Structure 1
Amino acid sequence: MNLLKTFATASLIALASFGANASQITSGGVTWDPDFDNGFTSDFISTGVFKQYYVAGTARDGIAVGDKISDFSLVKLDDTLEGYGFLETFNGQNSSEYCVTCDVLSFTFTDFKLDSLTGFGAPVFTGGSAAIFANLGGLPTSYASASDDLLWLELDAVINPLAGDGVGSTIDVLGTVAGAAFSNAYFDVIGGAAASNFDTDSELFGSDLAYSSARSAGQDTGTFIVNGNTIPEPTSLAIFGLGLLGLAGAARRKA
């Protein structure tokens, strides 16, 4: 009976300790608390800034295929949207708090092809992907510097069947190519060090992450919000389980 009491007491202590730390998730050198009150129903929300440009898909006067275009009045169909940025906050923490072994979470996006324009002049994009990196080089100043170091999340854009006047687009844009624009996009997690924490299919259209951004007319920079749900690290549950197994084994040996 004493052994059973000892085992039960130890189990309760282990449960209490696990419960006190279960909310904090650390994955790929980044830590966050999914119980943080971010004003959304999802587990996390990040805010940040981005810089965008287009990559020429066709040659024309003074522009060769592959050239970067920052004057959006020169953008044509078949050009692709590309850019980079970084996450300023992650569930209320800045980069010095959420990055355990990195400087900042940087990100890149590429291959969003400008396929057509709606009747209101809004761009219709096809394709596209993005990636988030646990960056060791400080704040990114280029696409190359934003894509350094550990690949934290690899993302594919999801088609929004309601966007682009109902023809479908991977970015739902309220605005125009050269003017002010408010955009929404959804992404599937397909890889990266933290993929197992974010592959939840819990956002619209079965996606994992929801992304919203705003950019003023004539500007190549803007702000964004990304949110989604997370899954605790399996290792946390495994460690707790091993602890209970160890206690059970000790009790059997004493018996």
Structure 2
Amino acid sequence: MSVAASRFAAESTTPSQVASDLASLNINSTAAHYTPSEGPTPAAQGGGGKVRAAPTTQAASNCSTLKDRAESAFCKLSRWTRRDFRHGDIISIPYHTPNLDPYVQEDDSCLTYTDEGYVYSKRRMLIVLWIHQQDLFCVPLFSFGGKGIRGKPEWLRKEYVSVRNKGDKKFDNQGPCPPVDVVAWKKPMHPMTAVQITGGTKVNFSEDIAFCGRTTEDGYNHLLELWNELWMKAQGEVWRN
């Protein structure tokens, strides 16, 4: 068994089950699927969304991921530890970036002013690539307003890969390479979902994390190969004075 294979337990959801779930949903309805920039909260997922029998430090009587003892009124800490995470997990977190969109309105509830400028915050979904001692290394998911990868300039599309719900035989691949297969819990991913391969993000275990699904083993290995390919190409550029 390969190192990558040892990271993945046997799938508990069969392709026929996923196909049946997909068939029963209106894939164009916002409520029928996960939108990457509107990730669910731990409360919405119930117990943070963990549906596997993995060891956890969560109190059995409390399905919230928040600690019983809050550090302060301004600090949210979860109970997750390293052993709660697996390669390929799809998670949802509070995601903060400098606002670079000139069309965002000042009264947008996602916009916050700080001493260093405006910050835009959403709950975004990400895929866990690997796990360190205190942090996850993840890549973010986007749908670009429902446009998918075709909403990006041609020269940028090689830095993205489409996400396909396992068992979806009507999938329209928008990217230049095969898609990454995933199994989402509760409802499928938006059909225009894409991974930004170059968008590495560090996530601390104590952040307000919800679990939303997982890639398949083949999907994870494919994503890792794409990441390594772009990483090696970028590192191979000559030193510039």
Question: TM-score scaled to structure 1, two decimals?
Answer: 0.28
Name the larger-Rg structure. Answer: 1
Task: Name the structure, 1 or 2, with higher relative contact order (CA <8 Å, separation 6+).
Answer: 2
Q: Which has the higher strand share?
A: 1
TM-score, normalization by structure 2 = 0.29
